[in-house]
Amino acid sequence: MRHYEVTFIVDPVLSGDEVKSTAEHIQNELRQAGAELVAVDELGLRQLAYPINKRSSGIYYCIEFKCESAAWLGKFELNMTRNERLLRYLTVKLDKYGVKYNDDKRNGRIGKRKVETTSGTSEEGGDLAPAVVNLDA
Amino acid sequence: MAASREDVKFLSNPKIGLRRKKYCRFRKFGIKYIDYKDAEFLLQFINEQGKILPRRITGNSLKYQRRMATAVKRARHLAMLPFVGDLLK
């Protein structure tokens, strides 16, 4: 089984339903080609680092899938290119570390350190606040 | 009494001219995969104009410098990082 990941940017001018249907359409296309979807991640509306097709923002989607044979990928990418609702797309083959990284990320095992530090600081803040209150009292 | 040579030796901090040794953070912290979607992380490896910093400065091992460069280029394609920037940091 090979793991792949396709990230694409949907035109932000479209309505919410149209954006969803575009993403659905791509997912259906993948399923029909015989791919097994591992995860669909909606990264949401983001500011682009530079304008593409005169748009300064876009809705990011990331789909991870696995399949035995990827002979159809060329055709799939051609369809992506022809899809006028998309600003950009990128298909990437994941190595075993990439698969593990994505899995860990989904289960919240990555970025935990960050979360811990932020929660830690907030807890410290929480601890500090009553201390201050006590001092005042 | 005149100070002997050994006393004089420690008048200045002997560590002052030494540079801290650079290391590859991917090897040190066991990071095996560099995510091209994590633009904030990749920002550490580009300069203010959005150029990829050389190994000489980042201290990365060759393997991870290559992977990092690929990740930056992918992020640029997806407009998560700019191709050219001004005052990125």
Domain containing B56 equals 25-77
- The residue of chain A with its CA nearest to that of B39 is A49
User: Using the 8-state DSSP alphabet, how is residue B3 labeled?
Assistant: P
Instruction: For chain A of 137 residues, list the mean pLDDT of each consecutive stretch of 10.
Output: 93 91 92 91 92 93 90 91 93 92 85 44 38 41
Q: How far from B53 is each of A31, A112, B24, B38, B62, CA to CA, in Å? A: 40, 28, 14, 17, 13
* pTM for the full predicted model: 0.77
Q: Which residues contact B48 (CB under 8 A, 6 or more apart)?
A: B85, B86, B87, B88, B89
In a domain, B51, yes or no: yes
C-alpha to C-alpha distance for A24 and A83, rounded to whole angstroms:
13
**CATH code for position B51:** 4.10.640.10
Beta bridge partners of A5: A64, A92
* ipTM value: 0.75
Judging contacts by C-beta atoms under 8 Å, the chain B residues touching residue A49 are 39, 76, 79-82, 85
Number of structural domains chain B divides into: 1
Residue type, A94: L
In a domain, B40, yes or no: yes
Choose the closest CB to B82 out of A7, A43, A49: A49
In a domain, B68, yes or no: yes
In a domain, B61, yes or no: yes
